[in-house]
Amino acid sequence: MFELLHKDNNSSARLGRISTAHGLIETPCFMPVGTQGTVKTLSPAELKDTGADIILSNAYHLFLRPGMEVIRKAGGLHKFMSWDLPILTDSGGYQIFSLALLRKINDEGVEFQSHIDGLRHFLRPEDVVEIENELGSDIVMPLDECVHYPASKDHAQVAMKRTVYWAKRSKKIWNKERGRLLFGIVQGSTYEDLRKECAGELVELDFDGYAIGGVSVGEPSNLVYNTIAQVAAILPADKPRYVMGVGLPEDILEAVERGADMFDCVVPTRYGRNGTAFTSEGKIVIRNAPYTEDFSPLDKECSCYTCNNFSKAYLRHLFNTDEILGLRLLCLHNVHFYLDLMKKTRAAIKNNRFVEFKKEFLGNYNVERN
């Protein structure tokens, strides 16, 4: 469960701890994304070395491949992927709505055609909870309906009410004795009254934590920040608050300041695989010509394996010769950068200086640098 350890004196930033069957999670935290049971290019040992104490996987993708029978025979997802720390699984609702073919949605559930082999499937919210239980997830996200931005209010309202209905059905079959946590997901697009209604109904159901969904689907930053602030303010203080799919370092700090505790995004590894590194001075594209004879590390402030051993010139060489090591080293650095940022964020909150820390970080971090 969640323990609120401290609140920053000058903002809504919070320091907390989540207890799970596979260990403790210090918050605010960033969860590296291992959609298909792997954080791309990185081994579990490397993830632990970067400081990861939880990762995220996706029930939709794992349900399709390798399939539940394989994972069941392996003894669950933790054993299958050799990861003995906490795992949060996303229900795959967003993927069903964005990837699946010929989907049909009604109050009973979702019928969809797999984007992999074209086979048709039908999943009820109860089915999704059972799938995540079979995976052995420590934190389970129920099936929800996420709408893209912009969405009409009528469309957003239908999706929000369906999300609440599915949440009630998911909670009804939930077995707390399994020692796992079930979160509710607040939807409602950018409409404050819909968000408030959704949050209120979910809080009455007393979930173990609450996620703010649908805030990384194309909205401008100011709307994302406003939505996070509005929803966080009405969620219970004694439960963790998870902002789904956010994101960039500057967005994470803005969300922390507004009271959010948990984050995930594919950005660190996706950017790394495409040759972009996050540094204390901003993003750099390692393929670029200025780094041809630059023998300094990616980030002089970083203590990761990549920065301790390799230069920008060498990393540029790896990318320009299509060597796989380049992808791995940049992904390793980026994940370390994100997790180190969260570690420093927690220290700043503990010392009641989060606002100063954020100002210092963003003052050095050039968002536009490339």
Query: What span, in angstroms and rounded, lies between the C-alpha atoms of 36 and 249?
Result: 24
Most distant pair of Cα atoms in the chain: their distance: 61
> Partners of 110 in the beta sheet?
105, 123
Whose structure tokens read 């993708």? 61
Query: What span, in angstroms and rounded, lies between the C-alpha atoms of 339 and 344?
Result: 9
Give Cα 131 to chain centroid, integer Å.
19
Hey, what are 359's tokens?
């100002």
Is 264 in the active site? Answer: yes
DSSP SS3 for 74: helix
HSE at residue 214, side-chain half, CA atoms within 13 A, is: 28
User: How many residues in total does the chain contain?
Assistant: 370
The active-site residue, picked from 138, 264, 299, 340, is: 264
Query: Residue 46 to residues 21, 38, 43, 295, 347: CA-CA distances in angstroms?
Result: 22, 12, 5, 24, 23
Is 238 in the active site? Answer: no
Computed over its alpha carbons, how large is the radius of gyration of the chain? Answer: 20
CB atoms under 10 Å from CB of 69, counted, come to 9
Query: What span, in angstroms and rounded, lies between the C-alpha atoms of 246 and 252?
Result: 6
Q: Are 307 and 333 in contact (CB under 8 A)?
A: yes
Hey, what are 352's tokens?
């009641």
DSSP SS3 for 249: helix
Query: What span, in angstroms and rounded, lies between the C-alpha atoms of 92 and 79?
Result: 21
Query: Residue 259 to residues 2, 33, 68, 297, 334: CA-CA distances in angstroms?
Result: 14, 22, 36, 34, 24
> Partners of 25 in the beta sheet?
18
The active-site residue, picked from 53, 90, 208, 251, is: 90
Ordered alpha helix ranges (H), 205-304? 221-234, 249-257, 267-273
- Residues taking part in catalysis: 90, 264
